[in-house]
Amino acid sequence: MTKEATEIEVEVVEIDGVAPAVPHARSDEPARKEAWQDWRQWQGKIRQLDSRWWPLWVFLGIIALALFLTVGVVLATVFLIVRLCMRILRALLG
């Protein structure tokens, strides 16, 4: 006969004659008030960037710069093609 590990699932009803504290359900009103007070503490911190996040900002900046340059190159190419087509039409019709 093989020995198998036996798992026992129990619920603690009391320890040393004292029942564990039951978490109470909180109402919505106090939570809203606490959330508003948390926002008040952010007043001076919103203007400053946390130094721990600088790698993320650098990465996002590089992505934004790449997108900006890509859009600029595409617009410049379209502009040059339109001007070239207009010059060809003027030469043919003009």
The reported pLDDT for the residue numbered 19 is 72
Within a domain: 15? no
Decide if 4 is inside a domain: no
In-domain check, residue 79: yes
pLDDT for position 71: 98
> Does residue 71 belong to any structural domain of this protein?
yes
Q: Considering the domain boundaries, does residue 74 fall inside one?
A: yes
Is 34 within a domain? no
Count of domains for the chain: 1
In terms of residue numbers, what domain contains 83?
A: 56-94
Q: Looking at the domain assignment, is residue 81 inside a domain?
A: yes
**Spatial separation of the C-alpha atoms in residues 77 and 83, rounded to whole Å:** 10
Residue 86 lies inside a defined structural domain of this protein: yes
pTM to 2 decimal places: 0.45
Residue 13's pLDDT band (cuts 50, 70, 90): confident
